[in-house]
Copies of this chain bind each other. A is one copy, B any other.
Amino acid sequence: MSDQLKLDTFICFAVYTAGHAFNRVYKPLLDELGLTYPQYLAMVCLWEEDGQTVGGLGEKLFLESSTLTPLLKRLETAGYIRRERSSKDERVVLLRLTEEGKRLQERAETVPGCIIDASGRDTDQLARLQAEIVALREALNRSASSS
């Protein structure tokens, strides 16, 4: 072990701390919208497709219902979504944007640009790095599910 700390060579640690760093950059931007970072991700997902189920959202965000249910209740309390049981299948809860939730999308439009600026990289570099990280994630998920 040289003078370089071993921890600083762990890719998992780089990913872990980069996640925290993203959070710190997002925080002041999302505070304006009254959202936390995971809540923002859920809203982005619903802006893309309204009327999703809890399970469907969980698959896209890689989150369990035990994480999503309280988060979605907070979004409902905040007035951004409604949660209603499906009449076709009473087990299913459908997530619908309120008018206020839809309006929030416009206020959130400037956020991605701020993040790109903060990254200090151009969109090509980011897209390439993003693809590599996704590929790594997929490999890890395959490994975790097979063991």
Contacts and interface: CB of A to CB of B under 8 A. Distances in A.
Interface string A19-38: 11110111010000000010
Given A15-B22, A15-B133, A7 B119 contact: no
A120 to B, nearest CB: 4
Contacts of A136: 18, 21, 119, 121, 129
A19 B22 CA distance: 12
A21 B120 contact: no
Contacts of A147: 28
A78 interface: no
Interface in A41-55: 41, 44-45, 48
A18 B143 CA distance: 13
Interface of A: 1, 5-22, 24-26, 28, 37, 41, 44-45, 48, 60-62, 112, 115, 117-121, 126-127, 129-130, 132-134, 136-137, 139-144, 147
